[in-house]
Chain A
Amino acid sequence: MAGVPGKLRFSLGSRRSPIGASAISRGALAGPARISSGALTDPSRPFRFRFDGRELAGLAGDTLASALLANGVRQVGRSFKYHRPRGIVTAGPEEPCALVDVIGSSGREPNWIATTLPLQQGLVAESQNRWPTLRFDLRAVADRLGRFLPAGFYYKTFMTPGWAWERLYEPIIRRAAGLGRLAAVVPVHADPAETVHEHADVLIVGAGTCGLAAAHRLGAAGLRVILVDQDVAAGGGTLLDARWSSWRKSVCAALPQWPALRCLTRTTLLGAYGHGVFGALETLTPQESARFGGLRERLHVIRARQVLLASGALERLIAFPGNDMPGVMLAGAGLSYLKRYGVAVGRRPALFLNNDEAYEAVFALAAAGVQCAGVIDPRPDSRAAARARTLGVAVHGGAMVGAVHGRREVETVTIIEPDGRRRFVLEADALLISGGYTPASALATQLGATLAWDESLAAFIPDAAVAAGRIAGGARGVFGLAAAARDGDAAACAIAAELGRAADGASCPEPPPDAEASPLRALWEVRARGKAFVDLQNDVTADDIRLAAQEGYEQLEHMKRYTTFGMATDQGRLGGLVGCAVLASARGVPLPEVGLLRARPFAQPIPFAALAGPEVREHYRPRRRLPLHEWHESAGATFVTTGLWLRPLVYARESGWSPVLDEARAVRKCAGLTDVSTLGKIDVQGSDAARFLDLIYANTFSTLAVGRARYGIMLREDGMLLDDGTTSRLAPEHFLITTTTANSTAVLEHLEFHLQSTCAALDVLLTDVTDQWAQFALAGPRSREVVGPLVHGLELSNEAFPFMAATEGLIAGVPGRLFRISFSGELAYEIAVPAAQALTVWSALLEAGTRFDLRPYGLDALNTLRIEKGHLTTAELNGNTTADDLGLQRLLKKQGDFIGRTLAQRAGLNAAERLQLVGVRPTDRSERLRNGSQLVAREAPDVSLGYLTSATPSVEFEGWVGLALLSGGRQRLGQRLLACSPIHKETVELQILGSHMLDPENARVRS
């Protein structure tokens, strides 16, 4: 590591900073490496911040990365696998290495990208993945062991013994690997989040020259345009080139004249989701954040008729030994730090470039007075190299970088000939590299674009047009700011035509011409001794890729999974194509045959909180409240959530069975009143209503008399039970279906589907009236006496209004419906009234019931009563049960078609050993039952014969009762079996009974 191999050396000369000659004082510029004020930084607003405990100075407008570089901080983290020191590599969201923890008021948040994190006063950040400190990391020993940690190392090594993975290997590996760490405690009151839905004619992704020219054209055409850019300001490459500033200013000043055009900066497009739907994440500035109550990010869901991808191209790295050392950085990043933040990334930087565009960094550094150590270019000569020489910069043509040396950061660069022979060693404190530009094609491929290999650019280029969109500028390989602007304008004209708008408005000002450029020479890897990284974030070297290919992982996506190449936040943006090229050469095939990694959303890490938006905690799901919710609340109810509904569980705040059983007992003894408004209610009308219900229900409804109700079951087409409930005939062509609470939407959909497909010719109208009607069950031997006085003119005697009667009438003066149906097994009525009048009728019933000790009862008591009676809920109607399983086979009509009829006849659905519904009681009455207990025979305790679906302490019988699904259950009545609940370590002996334990003759409901 230490020392400089080789004899040839250039002297660094004076180590004094070039700012020594500058008129600007060092202190005002916050940081020794800051040599000018920068386009974005504000020298009048200095900020203090802390990094790994060190107090440093920065400026408003800095990112954390630029402020660190300004302070000469090069190393900002340790790598994922080898714990090698790593520095800042880019100046944007594609940064693979400079991920940091930010310690804020709500705790520690990992994986902030330092290159996009805006510096704020008092920011506290810490490096990741080092222990105990950044400079001295004990786990860096992994680097020395590097040759014993090849690709697939974990897979190969930690195979045996099996027990050791969970207990030994995984905890150790997890501690050593990974990116960042989460706060141990997630704050309860997280920052607010917001989701907005946007609609646009055209979404333009990227506000460089291409996107700006297009926005100008489309704005002038009067279209609704959303222009997004991840940068803090619109402009893209123009922000780095003074020749373009007047063009940029003039376009940016023109855009606000079109009110239908909006420009969202600091907004990253996360992905394309098809059919013109896009996700974008906007990061708010601290000022905006303060204005929106602390909101940090805003998720935009954008629906656009057309999209223009003007997302430009990403500079790529070159793989060579030591290309991960702090101080090695992309050339574009070096240019960006200089122009935007006034930071020189080195006092004497060397550059390793294979294309003319990247020479912009050389020219800018020279113009800023930074002395370049030299440019290494694999091309013998080029236009840009000639220009650099005229500026006094040494250009070493036909050469490559074979190694980088330094103790913790770049000190020397070894220059080699194309054949690998060493040419000489250059002293330099930074190395800016560029391997060319890869069009940002991720979104294009998500939109279905195919990629074609372009030999002259050494890049995959997407089609210009995709479904409802176009790709323009650098994103499709049209490089040069002026060329991209013209391409964007042309694409905008095509889009305007597609949308039927004339695009004859004023166009952009004429852009300054692009410099003529010599072609690049594709250079992916310099093969020499040492680790040459293709993926800096996941520590994947070119050798790892060759090993993967050698071991059979030849397909790109296989190689990715074997080596972790292109995973995590990096997604192969810097080295993706390089890795593909290494794989292609290892396999001896042309690069296009290997292809490119599939880019999936998200384009950048996004906090879960931003995705969840405001839909968290109590807002996670909508909440349905009963019409009488306030009454239940004031009566002291404890609520339970069933589906979306809040229902009174019991009218007591304390837990335990005692208040539940009091309520249930009141029903059995006198009378109780419960709110069953959650039942699904479907109004069915039309001349074919009866015919339709005959098809839907397994039993017959056309024979039902007006003024009568009938219990019905409906099947799915596969023969399983879908739902049950009572349906009443209110008029010859008017039925009212009730469904279980849980299945109300499924049943409505089932009916609508069949009405519009299977029997589309029928004259039937379906209306969901669940919310329109409140419904109460009044149950108990005294219930007739309670409701009698409230239904004027209606005779309630058994003869006049028998069990299963249904009628419309005035109830407590309110027009409603009265049904004599029972879920509890007692004499009972259900009263339905318009939801708005619920309280009037409910109060009248309670008032009328005071003489009879009428009391409200909740869902728990309702359940106790129905279990005793053997009535069904979704615990038994669980999607795996047939009519026969639940003892309802006699309801299946013999004549005529119905949904599920044919497949219900399958032998397997009628086998004797199927699970059938039975009632159960513990032999020892003092023992309790548990739902889900497995039923076994004493002599074969490891063979499950079924399970308990429902259990409750009983008010009718001593001890507990339950319902169970038991193999061949109806043949086992009277048997004794064991109910085992291993998680409670309980085994209870049971008696098997018929499922209708209470009043099997139905005498009470008819009383």
Chain B
Amino acid sequence: MLRIPCPWCGVRDESEFRYRGDATRLRPSAEAGIDAFTAYVYQRDNPCDWHSEWWLHVAGCRRLLRVVRHTLTHEIRSVEPAADALAAERAR
């Protein structure tokens, strides 16, 4: 079982969260077209490596978190609020 250190609630069991998918894919702009949205919705890398993913703390603070987890060891490297993660993403 994963234990996710929520920035608001502390270390909590995975069962309190809902997995919301790959956080490396950002929703394309409205006019990006079917191919861009198909890639956004369906195409996923399956890395054996660090992976950035969304977890929604549904049974806690209900905040969306970006968790960087290693898919082989399940080690969690970082957890940050979605807003911070997206701001950093936009700044890049």
Contacts and interface: CB of A to CB of B under 8 A. Distances in A.
Interface of A: 273-277, 303, 448, 467, 717-718, 745, 749, 752-753, 756-758, 760, 896-897, 901-903, 905-906
Contacts of B64: 752-753, 756-757
Contacts of B76: 275
Contacts of B38: 903
A903 B82 contact: no
A717 B86 contact: no
Nearest to A755: B64
B37 interface: yes
A753 B18 CA distance: 10
A758 B28 CA distance: 9
A160 to B, nearest CB: 39
A749 B82 contact: no
B10 to A, nearest CB: 12
Contact of A274 (B1, B30, B58): B1
A902 B32 contact: yes
Interface in B53-90: 54, 56, 58, 62-64, 73-76, 82-83, 86
21 contacts: A274-B1, A274-B74, A275-B76, A277-B13, A303-B3, A718-B42, A749-B56, A752-B62, A753-B56, A753-B64, A756-B83, A757-B82, A757-B86, A760-B82, A760-B83, A896-B30, A897-B30, A902-B34, A902-B36, A902-B37, A903-B34
Q: What is the size category of the interface that chain B forms with chain A?
A: 20 to 34
A275 B1 contact: yes
Contacts of B36: 902
Contacts of B3: 275-277, 303
Contacts of B27: 717, 757-758
Contacts of B33: 902
A901 B74 CA distance: 35
A619 B63 CA distance: 29
A766 to B, nearest CB: 8
Interface string B5-18: 00000000100001
B59 to A, nearest CB: 11
B50 interface: no
Secondary structure at the A interface, as helix, strand, loop or mixed, is loop
Secondary structure at the B interface, as helix, strand, loop or mixed, is mixed
Contacts of B86: 757, 760
A718 B41 CA distance: 7
Top 9 closest pairs, chain A to chain B, by CB = A897-B30, A756-B64, A275-B3, A902-B37, A756-B82, A277-B1, A758-B27, A273-B1, A760-B83
B68 to A, nearest CB: 15
B29 to A, nearest CB: 8
B56 to A, nearest CB: 6
A903 B54 contact: no
B41 A903 contact: yes
Most central of A276, A760, A902, A903 by chain B CB within 10 Å: A902
A752 B58 CA distance: 9
A200 to B, nearest CB: 13
B20 interface: yes
A58 to B, nearest CB: 41
Contacts of A753: 20, 54, 56, 64
A584 to B, nearest CB: 27
Contacts of B26: 757
A396 B40 CA distance: 73
B53 to A, nearest CB: 12
Contact of A717 (B41, B54, B62, B75): B41
Nearest to B73: A448
A760 B82 CA distance: 8
A303 B32 CA distance: 46
Nearest to A718: B41
A902 B32 CA distance: 9
A762 to B, nearest CB: 11
A301 B56 CA distance: 24
A913 B76 CA distance: 48
B34 A756 contact: no
Given A448-B73, A902-B32, A756 B2 contact: no
Given A757-B86, A758-B27, A752 B1 contact: no
Given A749-B58, A756-B83, A906-B34, 19 more contacts: A275-B76, A276-B3, A277-B1, A277-B13, A448-B73, A717-B40, A718-B42, A749-B20, A752-B56, A753-B64, A756-B64, A756-B82, A757-B82, A757-B86, A901-B30, A902-B30, A902-B34, A903-B34, A903-B38
A896 B20 CA distance: 25
A790 B83 CA distance: 47
Contacts of B41: 717-718, 903
A749 B13 CA distance: 18
Nearest to B65: A756
A274 B38 CA distance: 34
A906 B37 CA distance: 11
Nearest to A695: B30
B78 to A, nearest CB: 15
Nearest to A447: B73
Nearest to A899: B27
Nearest to A275: B3
B63 A756 contact: yes
Contacts of A274: 1-2, 74
B39 to A, nearest CB: 11
A109 to B, nearest CB: 29
Contacts of A275: 1-3, 74, 76
Contacts of A718: 41-42
A615 to B, nearest CB: 13
Contacts of A757: 26-27, 54, 64, 82, 86
A901 B40 CA distance: 13
A749 B63 CA distance: 10
A896 B58 CA distance: 30
A903 B64 CA distance: 25
Given A758-B27, A760-B86, A467 B34 contact: no
Nearest to A753: B20
Nearest to A717: B41
A756 B54 CA distance: 11
A396 to B, nearest CB: 50
Most central of B1, B56, B82 by chain A CB within 10 Å: B1
A653 B58 CA distance: 38
Contact of B37 (A448, A717, A756, A896): A717
A905 B82 contact: no
Most central of B26, B32, B41, B58 by chain A CB within 10 Å: B41
Contacts of B1: 273-275, 277
A406 B1 CA distance: 51
Contacts of B40: 717
Contacts of A758: 27
A745 B59 CA distance: 11
Contacts of A303: 3
A994 B76 CA distance: 54
A536 to B, nearest CB: 34
A467 B73 contact: yes
Contacts of A902: 30, 32-34, 36-37
A300 to B, nearest CB: 14
Nearest to A279: B1
Nearest to A754: B27
A274 B18 CA distance: 18
Contacts of A756: 63-64, 82-83
Contacts of B2: 274-275
A748 to B, nearest CB: 8
Given A273-B1, A752-B64, A905 B34 contact: yes
A448 B42 CA distance: 31
Nearest to B21: A753
B40 to A, nearest CB: 7
B17 to A, nearest CB: 11
A745 B62 CA distance: 12
Contacts of A276: 3
A745 B56 CA distance: 12
Nearest to A448: B73
A274 B2 CA distance: 7
